[in-house]
Every structure is written in structure tokens, then in C-alpha cells.
Structure 1
Amino acid sequence: MSRFERVRGRLRRAYQSRQESARTEEDTSGEELNDVSETARVASPAVPGPTAPPSAAVYGAEPPVDLHSSTTSRDDADVPHGLRIAAAWCWRLIVIGVVAWALLRIVGTIKIVIIPLAIALLLSALLAPAVGWLLRARLPRSLATAVVLVGGLAAVIGTLTLVVNEFIRGVPELSAKSSEGVRQIQNWLKTGPLHLSDTQLDRYIDEAQAWINDNTSRFTSGALSTAATLAEVLTGTLLVLFATFFFLRDGNRIWRFLVRLLPVAARWKVDDAGRASWHTLGAYVRATVLVAFIDAVGIGIFLVIFDVPFAFPLAALVFLGAFIPIVGAALSGGVAVLVALVDSGPVTALIILGAVIGVQQIEGHVLQPLIMGRAVALHPLAVIIGIAAGVVLAGITGALVSVPLIAVLNTAIRRLAARRVPETPPDAVVVAAQAP
């Protein structure tokens, strides 16, 4: 090989080695630039992405913020945790309040149907044991239900007949004694601690007479409106009778039909809660009847001993008033005290008042914990609030229905919130799949 060819080969190898080293440097610098460009991106609300490494100096970017597991955005992370929890509770409570308000409006619109159905449920819970006894005696279900319903109607109509007859028979005597009672009250006002003069008494009597004259139109319009609602009362009474009959006869089938409308996963728990609530309602109604009967007998005995007129009607009034817990028997007992005051004077009235208070104390401290406490466990504050709300929403009927409604809801919510598997009914059929 000539000298010239050896020099040319060396130059070619040097040139190729220089090209390879330049290509290697170029690839390395490209990879470093790509790494820097990927890691230099900064997360922001507008362009999300990974944060810059600690060694990178990025100007104009906000410091990174760690998001809590309960937040979904940077805005949620900037809001305090307590405020976010309060806001979540508030909008949920608003939704519940709107739904409750809508339900109350619906119930108020169709109250002529809702109230008779509620009364029919109470009567059904009271009469259901009697129907069960007749069914165990091998009577057909329809016949047993008809016998119990007709017997209950006969008892109510007979009691009302006795009350009305005794009231009509004793009105003349009571009206004659009422004028004497009024004179005794006037003498006490003049000679008692108040020392009112005849002029003051006449002025007060004139003011009362003027008030009555001014409100005569209101009383008359109320009476006219009551007469206008006679058709509604008759309709409601018929609906109560028919609903009570079918609740007693087909209540179990109606309940099973309603449960089958629910999703399969919820049927067991709803059925268990519903049957427990029905048991609570029956126990409440029977306990209330027993307590009301004891109140009526206790106050009625004192009325008979002191020869107060209308003893039986007043005892019946106490019995009906006791269905409104805490306040019902006290108000009806107050009527008995007024009758005793007008008929027999203040001494007898004070004795009857003491009897009413004593019976109320026995009811509140003995009968209610012993009888009612086993049926439903409700705090007295819940009872008072329920009665007040019932009176505001539906008058006397609302006061009558509010406490059993609270008791039923209390049992139902407790059963639905309990984490347990309901017991399998005895008539359930379990079908097991065969192994392949």
C-alpha cells in the first residue's frame, strides 16, 4: 500500500469517528431536554399536571397544595373542613324540609281521606285481637270481622244514647242551679278578697255582654260552616266503617301487596319494620283504652259519692279525653270541676279537683310507666310536642293521632336502622338450587 493511501484511510477513520461522537452527543442532549421539559411543567387550576422538581426554579407558579381525600378540586381544599360539612348538612336538610312541606300540603289537601283512614287504623288495632279470637273459634274471616265491627258500633251507640238521655234529663236541674251558682260567685267577688263593688261587677258583665254581641256573627258563621260540613262528616264516618272492615279482614294481604311493590332487597326489612310498628300501634291503643277506663272510673266514683249531676256523662267525657295523652283527661276533669262548682258549691268543687289531680298523678307515675311504658317508650317532651303539632295541623283529630303516629315512626325507624337479618316467617318456603 502506498503512503498516500495510508494517509487517506486515516483521515476517513478520523472523520467517521468524529461523526459518531457528534451523533452520540446530539442524542444525549435531546433526551435531557425532553426530561427537563416533562418535569418542568407546573400544575395549576387552568393546566393540570405534575409539579416541578425541587431543583427546578419556576417563576409565576403557586405552591402545590395537598388535596384531602374528601375534596375533589382545589376550590374544595381552600374551604375549611367544618364549613364543608355544615354546607353538606344544610342542603340535605333543605331537601328534606321541602319534601316534608310537600307531604304536609298533600295531606292537607286530602285530609278528608287521610283522617278517616288514620282513625280506621286505630280502630283496627283495637279490634284486631277480638277478630283473632273469633278466627280461632273457626268462624269465617268475613263473619268474624262483621260480628266484631257490629258489636263495637252497638257499644258506642248504646253509650252515646245513655249519655245523651242523662244529659237531657238533668239539664233543667242544672240550669236552675247554675243561676244560684252565679249569684254565689257574685257574692264571693263582693265579699271575698277582691272586694268588687256593684258598679265594677255591672261593668264587667256589660263588657262580657258586648263581647258576646260583637262575636255573635262569628259564632253563627261557625255554626253554619259546621252544618255545611255535615256531608263531609257522614262521608268520613262511612269511610271509617268500610276501611276498618277491610283492614280487619284483608289487612295482611294488603300489607303483603304493598311490600311486593318494593325492591327485593328491601322487602325483608320493610316487612319486619311494618309488622313491629303494627304491634306497637296495637299495644298503644289497648294501653290507652285501659288507662282511659281507669281514669273514668276513678273520677266517676268521686262524682257519684258527692252526688254531682251528670256523673255518667262526665265519666264518659273523661274516658274520651284520656285518648289525648297528658292534657286530655285534665281538660275533661276540669269540666267535671266546673259542674261541681255550679251545682254543689266551692267545697265540693275543690274535692273533685283534688280527685282529678290525684287520678292524674296515679296515671302519670304508676299507670303510664307500668302499662304504657311496655307498649311504647316515648319521652314526655316528644309527646307534648307531637300533641301541639297535631292540634296546629289538624285540630282535635291531630292531637288524637299524633302520639300513636310518633310511636309507630319510632319503632319503624329503629327497626330499619338496626343491622340485623329479620327472622324468617314460619310459612316461608325456601327453594334450594341443586348442584350441577
Structure 2
Amino acid sequence: MDQGNTTFILLSAALVLLMAPGLAFFYGGLVKAKSVISMMMMTFGAAGLIGVLWVIYGYAIAFPGSDGLVAPWAIDWSAVGLESLIEVPEGAAYPPMAFVAFQATFAIITVALISGAIADRAKFGSWMLFAGVWATVVYFPVASWVFNFGLAEDGSFAYGGWITYGLQEVFGVGVIDFAGGTAVHINAGAAALALALVLGKRVGFKKGVHVPHNPPFVLLGAGLLWFGWFGFNGGSELAADGTAALVYVNTIAATAAALLAWLVVEKLKDGKPTSVGAASGAVAGLVAITPACAALTPIWAIVLGLVAGALCALAIELKYKWGFDDSLDVVGIHLVGGLIGTLYLGFFATGTGLFMGGDGTQLIVQAIAAFAVLGYSLILTLVIGFAIDKTLGFRVKSEDEVAGLDLAEHGETGYVLDEKQPA
């Protein structure tokens, strides 16, 4: 067992888990002051629930072994509860539990991302029910399609999910999704769009009405996300090697470029670059580089960041034109950013992109993977969301929404300015 690589994987898992409180700060700063606890609790609640479900059966669904290709809903019954994975097989590069822990954090953050689309108006209990059902029928199977694969001794695919293995069998070129542009960002972004449609618009929804209550929280959250993303992207190599080093550089380069591009668009469009724009641009760059971080040179990573930062800054305006209320721009950043990063590889992936010596096949398989995950997540999320809304109800009462969700949903407040009077 390689202790260096094992340490790298375990530290990467810890970094990805840090993204959960980072996301809580990022989202919490974007909502109004009297809903900040509600918003942050949606992230922490998802972390608790998905962490438990992953141990009980989530890993067994997401990583069923060779059955993943022909039966995406298969389950490795020996892995239920994870007891069979405690011992380290002879000759293993790292303990199976290290990989289990690393992938657990992916499941947690993917579910938590969705919550930003329904900020300021969702019941906590209904959200928790949704999170558990969605993880079970959407995330765990999609993770199997993308992340579940085994390699033969010659380095070729031996088995895997239909996205990683099946498309390569058909087209001769495999999908490039190094760290989850499809399984995490397109998946969560499509679900966010569906839930925004299910819950409808916030009271008084229109441009300029709902403003972030705490931009410093937003910047802090973005900084924690950027820091944790090195584990997200770099850790996906599962080894502290040259590829991981390239991933780290590309994660810096694309994110920095996207931040700058977003600010330029803001300056041209609105007259002033904002702190929230800087934070949002950084996240857009992180999203876009996720699938591409090991398949681009640093210069092409910068170009990707510039493209993603500019286009995502424009995409967040679509909700006002098309009339869906994606509260915290999960669709504009994660769905659009995930699509940009995934499809960009079809043109600029080193060696296989259309403009990098390829014949267009890479673009075809990237598009199939991206839109298959988008469609699957969107449709099933609509079904799950409407089912919960028609039974338990998904949205709080209008008076609670206007007053703020913290006291109504959790009986506490984020800011006690007077000990005798709740904020």
C-alpha cells in the first residue's frame, strides 16, 4: 500500500468536505438576513443525511463493479454497510475505505448545491425528504455511470458505467469527466432548474428586489470552496503525481480567469464590478474546470475560465427573461458552467479535441454524456419535487417567506442585535 497516495486521498476527502461549510457561507450570504440559518441548515442537513445514506447503501449503488454497465440500478450487496471494505486487499494501492470517504464527500456537496435554487421559500423537512430520495434515485445511479469503472492490466477499461465505458465501446473515444462536470454540476444544475419550477417564484420576484445580505460571507464561502476544490479536482487523480500537479495549476488558472471575466462583464453591463460578482465568477471557473482539469494545458484552462466567467455572468440573467426563480443562480453557474466545461473538451482536450488533432468524436461523446445526465436529472427531479409538493407541501406559507424562514423553520435567528428582540 502506498502511504503517500493514501494520505493524499484522505486529505483530499477532508478538503472536499470543507466545501460544505464553504457552500453554506456562500449561499448564506446571498439570502436575506432573516433566512440565513434556514439556508445554511439546508447544506448541513444534506451533509448529515447523505453521509448516513452513503454508508448504508449509496456506495453499493454507485460502485457495483462490472454490473454498472448493463444494470445502472444494480447494487453490490456485499458493500451494503461497508463492512466488506474494511480490510485492505493485498497489493492494493490504497485502502478501499479511503476511496469510499472521498466519494462520500462528492455525494454530499452535489445534493447541497441544489438547495440554492429554492432559497427563502422551502420547508426544511420537505427539503430533507427530497435530498434523500434524490440522492437515491438520481445521484447514486449517475455517479455509477460516470465514476464506476475498473481497468485491465494494460490500462484499458475492463468494466464501468455506460458513460465512462459504454460510450468508449461504441465510439472508440471515452468521455472525459475528470472530477464530475456531469455527475456533480450538470446533475445538480438540472435538478435546481426543476425544483425552481416546482416551487415557483418568491414573493415579489423581480430583478433587484432580492439582494445579498452579507457579501463578506459570500467571499468567505467562495474562498473556502476554492480551497476545497483542490481536493475535489486534484484528489480525483487518486495519486500525488504529475497529473495531480497539472490539475492544481489548471484549477488556479481557470478560476482566476473566470473571476476576472465576470468582473469585466459586470463593469460593462452594470457599471460596477462587485464582490458578489468576484465570488460568483470564481465558482463559475471552478465548475467549468472540474471535468477538464487534467485534459487541458494551462493556457487553454485560462481560455476556458474566461469563456465560463463571461457566459455564466450573462446566463444568470436568463431567469428574469424566462420567468423561473433560481434564487442563488445554481442554474446559471452550475448547469451552464458544467455544460461549458464538458463541451469545451470536445474542442480543446489535449490530443482528442476537434481543434487539438481530433476528428469531432470527442465532442459527440461529451455532448451525449452531458445531455443524458441533464435530461435524466431534470425529469426525475420534476417527478420527485411535484410528488413532495402535492403531498407534504414543499413551500412555506407566504407570510413566513416574507418575514424570514429562520424563526418559522428553526426557532432561531442568525443575528441577535438586541437580547430582548430577535433580529
TM-score normalised by length of structure 1:
0.26
If you compute each CA radius of gyration, which structure gives the higher value, 1 or 2?
1
* Larger relative helix fraction: 1
Highest relative contact order (Cα 8 Å, sep 6+), 1 or 2? Answer: 2
